[in-house]
Amino acid sequence: MAAAPSRWGRRGLAGLVLASLVLGCPPPAAAWWYHATRRAAAKSILAKGVNPAKLRAGSRFGPGLYLSRRPGTALAEKGAGSTVVRFQGSRALEGRMVDLRRPTVRQLRSRLGDVDLRGTVKKGVIGPKLGRQLGREAGRQGQAIQYRSAKTGGSNLVIPKQLLQAHPHLVRPSGAR
């Protein structure tokens, strides 16, 4: 039995997205990601793209590009004096995302094996020690991790350095705020 056509026609939301691209409209808001950084770094990212050499190893999931769904979440993570760079996501990125916004013991053990998880996740927020292990494993598997913000509870994403080097066009800078 065929599904009834939605308000947007037979192709549903995919048809709407395709129609918006053909008509020159911007893509849906879900395709945008935000990164907060210093003004000089934002200018460099907009001019040359993300430089993997600048990604810090001491971050929660290790070296990677850290993005947020909302500009406010990005600012809360980095600091109010920062500049926000907007990135456009891609279908390739969507297909590589692992959702750990509400991590379960089963999910974490399936990714890392039989590790001691005591004290590593508090109120749904993954701690830095476990985060770095997850970041390394995600980089090896060519995956990005969607996780919960420790500051606002919003949705964040880390694209590990390995993945960004192998696929530099997963996200594209498109403007600063």
pLDDT tens-digit map of 97-156: 999 999 999 999 999 988 888 888 888 899 999 999 999 999 999 999 999 998 898 899
Prediction pTM value:
0.80
- Report the C-alpha gap between 26 and 15 in whole angstroms: 14
Residue 159, domain member (yes or no):
yes
The whole domain housing 143 covers 31-176
Three-state secondary structure call for residue 93: helix
Residue 117, domain member (yes or no):
yes
For the chain, give the percent of residues with pLDDT over 90: 64
- Report the C-alpha gap between 31 and 2 in whole angstroms: 29
Structure tokens at 165: 């080097």
Helices (H), the chain: 12-22, 39-48, 71-78, 91-96, 105-112, 128-141, 161-166
Residue 157, domain member (yes or no):
yes
The total of structural domains in the chain comes to 1
Question: What is the average pLDDT across 156-160?
Answer: 96
Of 130, 139, 152, 165, nearest to 36 (Cα)? 152
Instruction: Name residue, tokens 């001691």.
Output: 116
Residue 24, domain member (yes or no):
no
Three-state secondary structure call for residue 140: helix
Residue 42, domain member (yes or no):
yes
Residue 20, domain member (yes or no):
no
Residue 17, domain member (yes or no):
no
Residue 23, domain member (yes or no):
no
